[in-house]
Every structure is written in structure tokens, then in C-alpha cells.
Amino acid sequence: MTIRLATFIAAAALAQPAPQYDLLLKGGHVIDAKNRLSAVRDVAVKDGKIAAVSSNIPAASALKTVNVAGLYVTPGLIDIHVHCYAGTGERGSYAGDLSVYPDGHSFRNGVTTVADAGGAGWRNFEDFLDRVINRSRTRVLAFLNIVGNGMRGGRYEQNLDDMEAKATADMALKHKGIIVGIKSAHYNGPETAPFTRAVEAGTAARIPVMIDYGSNRPERPISDLLTKILRPGDIYTHCYSGLRGEQQGATGGPAQALIDGRKRGVIFDVGHGGGSFSWRVAVPLVKAGFLPDSISTDLHVSSMNAGMKDMLNVMDKFLAMGLPLDDVIARSTWNPSREIQREDLGHLSPGAPADVAVLKLEKGSFGFVDMHGARLDGSTKLIAEITVRDGKIVWDLNGLARERWDKLPAGYTHQGDAIWDAYGRARRPAAARQSGRK
């Protein structure tokens, strides 16, 4: 080929218009609660945002098209109760060794956003921000602990002197949008001060509180919390533990306090964890129609190796109790995004961040285990095939977006395009490659 011809061809290639979209997920069943959509649709992504959701978007209009027929396409899942303030080296602490780094657990479950539930308080939040939040590819948000030192163990968490509403609210306002709520947890004294101060901070910062009601005390029954202390929009987590009188008797439906709280607009969150989800509570409550507003894991180092496995496992449990898939997805996407006032997330409207989960609903025989080690059998199980974060594929279980190796040119090298693929972004910078640094 002459140089002139090569130049001409290169110029012609340059002159071709860029494809309209970066990434197209084609033929999947889209479930988007905000947009009241549950139907087969194509989802197109451009510049990290959802660009279009409609039937039959031509494959040629995208730089990369992935066939996701037979799979479900949902907003990236939002898990508002995790513990991910890892890396401080503090033993036996949720601001340390008991927490997990989010990226190792999120994308493989279709999760694109997590909220840490009180690992840090106002004294150590900015360490958490620098250590984990700003370094994670997962979108990490936080409930700020009303305890200034955060969730560092009993010595700190039982200290009423370190629960300051003003300092907590000030830090929350300083990082508005990342700090999405105030947390109180694990308090075992008879006082209501941890909860009233959390509400005080939440009111000042105009964000909700999330309550783990700690030890059950006759001086402060949950009816006080749910009908007097909490505001509409505040969140009661661990709602199927049964440990604080959530159930009527030992086998009944929801306690009157839960019914009254819900009537007032209190939000109920799962927060499964290692000790907060019991079949003998959840099954009768769900049967009585007391469903969770949001499904969340309470992921930490020990819960994830017990009955609670991961976000999809907790969602599977609600499928196993008979909730329709659309309903389970809504309670894992659009509901939690509204609870934490991040309505930019949890849906697939054009212009929204392109956080997407492509899920497979596997059929078979599966077992699901609760906090006591009791099993409930189910016939379906969700699997995350592809996860997209800000328009880029960050998880691809079976290589659906990949070419077969034997169809590629001999001696092929790095595949994918950084425009739609996180593989491209994960490569080392050129300078590092040349100098041979690892």
C-alpha cells in the first residue's frame, strides 16, 4: 500500500462519525421501578450516563453491543447497610478488622453503591474518606455514627459523652451527599440519648437516621423509638431479628409498634448481618404483609461467612418467601436511593449515572440460612453476570462482553476499549510499564 493510499484510508476512518452510544445492552428484561418499567428493552450508555432505554436500538449505533437476552437488566444495586471502614489495623473494630473493602464484594453482586452504616463518627470520618471512600471504584456513601469515634467497640460506643449532635451534624453538612445519614448502634444502656441525639444531628443536617436499637431494655421499648423518637423517613434496621420485640409473641406477625411506626412513615430495612435475620420472624412478618422498605446486607467479615453471603443472597431470601422479582429489585434499588436522598441513583432514566446490573435468575434447588443456622429452601437464585459502573463494565462473570480467543488475531493483546470497559482503565500507566515497575 502506498503511503498516500494509507493516509487516505486513515483520513476516511477519522471522518467516520463516532458511534452514537458507547455501550448497548441488548435484549434484556429491564426492571426499573422508578420508571414503572418491567419489559424487554435495550439500554444504551454514553459518556457514563444512561442515554436511552427503548425497544430495538440498532447494534450498529454503539461502539460495543452486548447481547443480554434472557437476562434481567436493573439499576446497579444499592446496599445501604455495609461495614467497609477497613484498613486501619484496629482489631475487633468495625472501623478496622471487622470491615471489608467494598470493591471485593460489590460488583460481583451487581452492587454499585454501598453505604457504610456507622463505621466512622465525626472524629474519624475524614480518615475513612481518604482511606476507603475516595479510593474505591464502588460508590461508597456513609451513615455517620453519632459516636464521635465511630463503631470502635464498647468502650467508645457506650460513651454518652462522645455523642455530640452538633459536631456530627457539622461533619455531615461538610460532606453532604456522601454522608447520607446518621447512625446509632449497639447501645445497651437504658437512656434514649443516643437516639434523640442522632435525630437531633439528622434534623440539623437534613438527613435520615438509621437505628440499630442495641440491647432490648424495658425502659425504652421499640414503641417509644418508632412512635415518638424517630421522624418519618428515619430508618429502623435489623427489622427481622426479633431481638427487640419486632414480633407479636414468638410466632406471630409484626408487633403493633412496627405497624404504628410504618403508619408514621418510619422506614424498615433488613440489615441481615450475622445476628439480625431469623426465618421464624421474617416468614410470619412477610406473610402478614410486613415487607422491608429496603433490602440490605449488613456485610462484614463474619456475617458474610455465615447465613448472610452477599446482597444477592439476601434478595434471594425474599424471592424464596414469595416476593415477585420486580418487587425485590425495587427494594434493592429505587427504594434505598430515596431513603438516602440520592434520587439520582437507583433507576435507568436517561441522564442518570450508568450504574447497571445484569442479573441471571437461575432455577434449581437452593438453601438459604438465617442467623440461627436454620435453612429455608428455594428454587431460584440470582447471579450477577455483568455490572456496569459509570458506563464501564467492572464485572463480567462469563465474558459476555468478550470475544472468543480463537476468533481473535494470532498474538492478540489487550482487548476491550476504555470507553466502555474497566479493563482498559485498569492497565498500568505507560510510564510504569516502560520502567518495568510492578
Write down the least CB distance from residue 210 to Zn ion, Å: 9
CA distances from residue 256 to 17, 253, 262 in whole angstroms, order as listed: 63, 9, 10
Q: Does 157 bind Zn ion (CB under 5 A)?
A: no
> For Zn ion, what does the binding mask look like between residues 296 and 315, x meaning CB under 5 A?
--x-----------------
- Nearer to Zn ion by Cβ, of 62 and 132: the residue is 132
- Nearer to Zn ion by Cβ, of 157 and 421: the residue is 157
Buried/exposed 76-88: b ≥16 CB within 10 Å, e otherwise: bbbbbbbbbbbbb
State how beta strands 209-211 and 235-236 pair.
Answer: parallel
Residue type, position 100, single letter: V
> For Zn ion, what does the binding mask look like between residues 361 and 400, x meaning CB under 5 A?
----------------------------------------
- Nearer to Zn ion by Cβ, of 143 and 395: the residue is 143
# binding residues, Zn ion (CB under 5 A): 2
Write down the least CB distance from residue 298 to Zn ion, Å: 4
Write down the least CB distance from residue 117 to Zn ion, Å: 5
| Residues between 103 and 122 that touch Zn ion (CB under 5 A) | 117
> For Zn ion, what does the binding mask look like between residues 36 and 75, x meaning CB under 5 A?
----------------------------------------
Write down the least CB distance from residue 24 to Zn ion, Å: 38
**Burial class for 60, CB neighbours closer than 10 Å (0-12, 13-18, 19+):** exposed
Only one of the segments 62-70, 198-206, 295-303, 376-384 lies at the binding site for Zn ion (rule: CB under 5 A); that segment is 295-303
- Nearer to Zn ion by Cβ, of 21 and 128: the residue is 128
Write down the least CB distance from residue 119 to Zn ion, Å: 9
- Nearer to Zn ion by Cβ, of 114 and 285: the residue is 114
- Which single residue brings its beta carbon nearest to Zn ion? 298
- Nearer to Zn ion by Cβ, of 62 and 210: the residue is 210
- Nearer to Zn ion by Cβ, of 30 and 80: the residue is 80
What's the rounded Cα separation, in Å, for the pair 424 and 301? 31
The answer to whether the beta carbons of residues 292 and 285 sit under 8 Å apart is no
Write down the least CB distance from residue 271 to Zn ion, Å: 6
- Nearer to Zn ion by Cβ, of 65 and 88: the residue is 88
Q: Which residues pair with 53 in a beta bridge?
A: 43
Write down the least CB distance from residue 179 to Zn ion, Å: 16
What's the rounded Cα separation, in Å, for the pair 248 and 333? 30
Only one of the segments 23-31, 51-59, 293-301, 338-346 lies at the binding site for Zn ion (rule: CB under 5 A); that segment is 293-301
The answer to whether the beta carbons of residues 362 and 397 sit under 8 Å apart is no
The answer to whether the beta carbons of residues 235 and 339 sit under 8 Å apart is yes
- Nearer to Zn ion by Cβ, of 117 and 270: the residue is 117
- Nearer to Zn ion by Cβ, of 98 and 312: the residue is 98
Write down the least CB distance from residue 83 to Zn ion, Å: 6
Write down the least CB distance from residue 112 to Zn ion, Å: 20
Only one of the segments 249-257, 280-288, 291-299, 310-318 lies at the binding site for Zn ion (rule: CB under 5 A); that segment is 291-299
Give me the helix-helix angle, 165-174 and 193-205, nearest 10°: 30
Pull the grid cell for residue 208.
435520615
Binding site for Zn ion (CB under 5 A): 117, 298
